[in-house]
Chains A and B, each alone.
Chain A
Amino acid sequence: MWQTKSSGEARVEEAMKQLLPPCQIKCPINEDIQRTNVLLSLLPQNVDEAKFGIIQIGDYLYEKNPFFNICGYICGICELECNYKAKGGSIRRRLLKRFLSDYYSDYLNQKEELSIVKDKENVAIIGGGPGGLMCAYNLSKKGYRPTVFESSDRLGGALWLVPEYRLPQAILKTTMDNLIRLANIDVKYNARVGDGKLTFERLRNDGYRAIFVAKGTPYPRVLTFGTDVVEGQNLSGVMYGHTFLYEMSHGNLGPDYLQEKRVVVIGGGNVAFDVARTARRLGGDVTVVALESEDKNSKDAIPADEEEVRGAWEEDIRIVPSRGVRRIVGEHGRFKSIECPRCISVFDETGFNPKFDYDDLRNISGDVLIITVGQVPDRAFLQKEGLLDEKGRLAVDPFTLQSLRNPMVFIGGDVRRIGFMVEAMREGMEAAESIHRYLRGLDMREGRKRQFEPFPIPYRDTYKPPTEVIWVPPEKRRHFQLFERGLTLHEAIEEAKRCVTCGPCMSCKACISIGFEKSLYAVEVDEQRCSGCGICVYACNYSSANLLMKDGRLVSATDMFRCKSCGICVAACPSGARTLVDDNTHERIDEVIASLGK
């Protein structure tokens, strides 16, 4: 069984201008997708034997991304840019990570603590969600002493709001608990910074030399129509999606909580669909009313993931698109119905600027109204600590994440700009780097700006379709078990094999890490022999061999960023003008041929 290492020649190299496969560019933390896909494809078919390899791959991913197992349930941003998408279907990277999680999450309890020496300053991290924890993790690795101030009694932040049929709470808890154990991160629960005594001043006096604010968006956004707040949001039977999911995560809603209730959910984002599908599982008869259009190709399309919409539709949830909510109508203090004009367009050149046709009105009745139109940060807190500008906006450098009002304060995650878990993690990483530079007196920007160049898909004769994803049949989905069956080992290996390694070798090196090759061999073209015949161009599937005009003659050259050092062009060259530098395969061939004579 192979042993993969990540030091020396097998270490992934970083560069200012990074050439990467498009999936790794799309991933906000630039995870080593290609390398781990290749390693996955080389796992044994036997589960017991494969575990050894799975743990190695997991450990490698964990190094940069201690939440990778959670990604396997709720993230898949990379798949949007996968080159294979245009050829039949993106590589199912999310499910591959879910597969790893199936084994790795248990192993986390046994994983050895990281050997880190923490001898640098204390840093206060406000908020124990993915953003704050990622910052704490990275600061720990750099030798700092982060303390997480978490206002509730559990770490994980907004991740707790993801319904269990998508992300089991056990996985979340295991990940959080082990992260703070492995990185030895100090956590203070029920510590509400901004509540009375716990101010920035106090933190500074207590010896914290920097503060990272990652408080997220703890409050739901109220429903507005135009610039007015819609009346009736405090009627009985009206609640916010955010609150609904929060209560759900604490187990406060029984399985028949919405039995025989007509539930109307306002909203078109992923959270609205989380709410809708949760409500359905609690027995409700659910209708989703979204401002956006059902036309997937329109600029005004429903923002929720296609998978969510499809899942909801399968679960008999009614979706009413292109409707705004002008009034909430109550009767005897209870919610009765909503008045919905048709929305003609959502966005225009100025941005979010919905336009309505008031002659086309619909009234939708229900027993319960759940408003899920977004979340907002704790502005009072930000205001009190002086982090807003005169116009009331957060004054923060978007690149370094340093507050423009208070240099020891750094701000990131949903509180700064709402996004996905991995985007918050990215900001946690960047903040850790910024805090490190700030405390060490280094330049805040040097070497941090990176430009990426994506690579196209290599040429193949045939492209394979993706592995089928199995969902529990809709009629059996009335519970909160995972509705998506993950991949088996065999399926995971086949799916990983589909990855065609679009990206350059230097950001992968999977083959070197397990000893297939000792280094990336450069291809040398002898220009005294190359006739510019172009055979190498036809032989190469990676568009690495190309013909150039040099002094009026066509000569071939190799783009070493695209070259995979496979040697096919070397064999195909009819002039023998190409060699792989430092490759001693031919020595072995000569040796074998010589031994034939004996």
Chain B
Amino acid sequence: MAGFEPKLVCFSCKFGWGYLGDEAKIDSQVKNRVPIICSGKVDATHILDAFKAGADGVLILGCSEDNCHYQDGNLEAQKRVYLLQKVLAAYGIEPERVKVELSTDPEGKKIAEAVKRFSEAIKKLGPLGKAEVEVSRVA
């Protein structure tokens, strides 16, 4: 779709991504990033709120297998997302719109790449589109 620039939210864990990099530089490359102490802290509620607010995709960057500083926060995030993908499908939101990527990137150079890759995949899915959902008719 021409000119479609996906609106993405990216959660990146502090112990795995970018702790050696230039925070300001990464922020300039990636909008809407939430640095978080552990990917396991991301609540399913946050992801749903993001989609409700108009996000086309949500990307969670956590530490690679076995390397979570808090032992298994990255696995918790992965489990939550697998479950949530079932729920999102019922809401008509493709499961590919939420993704957990488990890897290590101390410099933070791969954050922009990961977001770009994700963005390309979301472009293929197209925009999530307005919900055409009425939330309330109360005056």
In the complex they form, do A and B come into direct contact, defined as C-beta atoms under 8 angstroms apart? Answer: yes
* In-complex Cβ contact of A589 among B14, B44, B46 (8 A): B46
* In-complex Cβ contact of A566 among B46, B66, B73, B75 (8 A): B73
* B residues in contact with A364, CB < 8 Å: none
11 interchain pairs, CB-CB under 8 A? A42-B20, A44-B20, A49-B20, A460-B71, A497-B67, A516-B37, A566-B38, A567-B41, A585-B41, A592-B9, A594-B53
A585 vs B40: C-alpha distance when bound (angstroms): 13
Question: Looking at chain B, what size class is its interface with the partner chain?
Answer: 35 or more
Q: Judging by beta carbons under 8 Å apart, are A571 and B41 in contact? A: yes
Q: Is B82 an interface residue (CB 8 A)?
A: no
Binary contact track A356-391/B, C-beta < 8 Å → 1, others 0: 000000000000000000000000000000000000
A430 to chain B, nearest CB (A): 35
Q: Judging by beta carbons under 8 Å apart, are A597 and B66 in contact? A: no
Residue from B20, B36, B55 having most chain A Cβ neighbours under 10 A: B20
A514 vs B23: C-alpha distance when bound (angstroms): 13
Q: Judging by beta carbons under 8 Å apart, are A516 and B54 in contact? A: no
Known: A42-B106, A567-B36, A596-B53. 5 other contacts (CB 8 A): A460-B71, A566-B70, A572-B76, A592-B33, A595-B31
Q: Judging by beta carbons under 8 Å apart, are A462 and B66 in contact? A: yes
Q: Judging by beta carbons under 8 Å apart, are A570 and B41 in contact? A: yes
Q: Is B32 an interface residue (CB 8 A)?
A: yes
Q: Judging by beta carbons under 8 Å apart, are A1 and B20 in contact? A: yes
A-side interface mostly: loop
* B residues in contact with A596, CB < 8 Å: 7, 9, 32, 50, 53-55
Q: Judging by beta carbons under 8 Å apart, are A568 and B67 in contact? A: no
Q: Is B96 an interface residue (CB 8 A)?
A: no
B100 to chain A, nearest CB (A): 14
Q: Judging by beta carbons under 8 Å apart, are B72 and A585 in contact? A: no
Query: Which residues of A are interface residues toward B (Cβ below 8 A)?
Result: 1-2, 38, 42, 44-45, 49, 458-462, 464, 497, 500-501, 511, 514, 516-517, 539, 541, 564-568, 570-572, 585, 588-589, 592-597
* A residues in contact with B14, CB < 8 Å: 511, 516
A594 vs B7: C-alpha distance when bound (angstroms): 12
Q: Judging by beta carbons under 8 Å apart, are A593 and B40 in contact? A: no
A462 vs B49: C-alpha distance when bound (angstroms): 34
A497 vs B104: C-alpha distance when bound (angstroms): 12
CB within 8 Å for A459 and B71 given contacts A592-B9, A593-B9: yes
Q: Judging by beta carbons under 8 Å apart, are B55 and A566 in contact? A: no
Q: Which residue of B lies closest to A44 (CB)?
A: B20
Q: Judging by beta carbons under 8 Å apart, are A585 and B53 in contact? A: no
Residue from A539, A570, A589 having most chain B Cβ neighbours under 10 A: A589
* B residues in contact with A572, CB < 8 Å: 76
Q: Judging by beta carbons under 8 Å apart, are B49 and A516 in contact? A: no
Residue from B41, B46, B107 having most chain A Cβ neighbours under 10 A: B41
A386 vs B43: C-alpha distance when bound (angstroms): 71
Q: Judging by beta carbons under 8 Å apart, are B15 and A516 in contact? A: yes
CB within 8 Å for A541 and B70 given contacts A589-B34, A596-B9, A596-B50: yes
Binary contact track B84-107/A, C-beta < 8 Å → 1, others 0: 000000000000000000000011
Q: Which residue of B lies closest to A598 (CB)?
A: B54
